[in-house]
Amino acid sequence: MSGLLPANVVDRPTFRDRIEVFRDRAHAGEVLSSMLGSYINRDTVVLAIPAGGVPVGAIVAEQLDLLLDVAVVSKVTLPWNTEAGYGAVAFDGTVRLNESLLPHLGLTEREMQKGIDQTYQKVIRRQKLFRGDRPFPDLSELTSILIDDGLASGFTMLVGVEALRKVGANEITVAVPTGHLQAVQRMAGQVETVYCANIRGGLTFAVADAYQRWSDIREDEAVSIYKRSIARRS
């Protein structure tokens, strides 16, 4: 696999194509922290994608003594399957649909617009819930580490990166515990560096398979983790 990885991708070779390499998201955050040690004492902010990215990002921020913030991005889901997405909406209003997937879904324009509108309202609500009225940090002089708990198709993360560029981020690092090889390769072309401990190939991929203990993170749980991290830095 090493020959397939772009030069700006950092992984754990011993974790390649393995499942259940992390006990849970906290352990995944510890592994990422060990890989991101060069960011200690740098002008860097950790931006976690709620909800699953928050417990990972909180550990990274704590162990590297960095500020934790959030970059709210949410996938636009199918009316009949809220686990499957065909696009994403970011905190700044950026909307992208997976154009290659749309012809196979049979969605009407009205259904797609409804999905986008509902997702945008969710993003606004989450942004308020996590960040309140605080202004978004000035990223022009900072390195941004964008974190989620995994990279399947990578579409949500790509929209997050696009939004960060629009608000002035110059240097973006993506850090995820696990990711599909193709998604990691695509991401490497969009950011300065990608850190992914557990890269897996194959026809199918599930983020959950990298974890021994896995469950969806409740929104209130993510908010609590985030606020504790903010209080630690106060």
Can you say whether the dihedral through the CA atoms of 10, 215, 55, 222 is positive or negative? positive
Q: Is residue 206 part of a domain?
A: yes
Q: Is residue 111 part of a domain?
A: no
Can you say whether the dihedral through the CA atoms of 104, 164, 178, 230 is positive or negative? negative
Q: Is residue 131 part of a domain?
A: no
Range of the domain at 16: 2-72+139-233
Angle (deg, nearest 10), helices 109-131 and 219-233? 40
Q: Is residue 62 part of a domain?
A: yes
CA distance 28 to 56: 6
- Count up the domains in the chain and report the number: 1
Q: Is residue 86 part of a domain?
A: no
pTM for this entry: 0.94
Nearest alpha carbon to residue 66 among 144, 129, 149: 144
Q: Is residue 96 part of a domain?
A: no
Q: Is residue 224 part of a domain?
A: yes
Using 50, 70 and 90 to split pLDDT, how confident is the model at 2?
Answer: low
Q: Is residue 49 part of a domain?
A: yes
pLDDT digits (tens, 9 = 90+) for 171-194: 999 999 999 999 999 999 999 999
pLDDT digits (tens, 9 = 90+) for 102-138: 888 888 899 999 999 999 999 999 999 999 988 899 9
3-state secondary structure (DSSP) of residue 218: coil
CATH number for the domain spanning 47: value is 3.40.50.2020
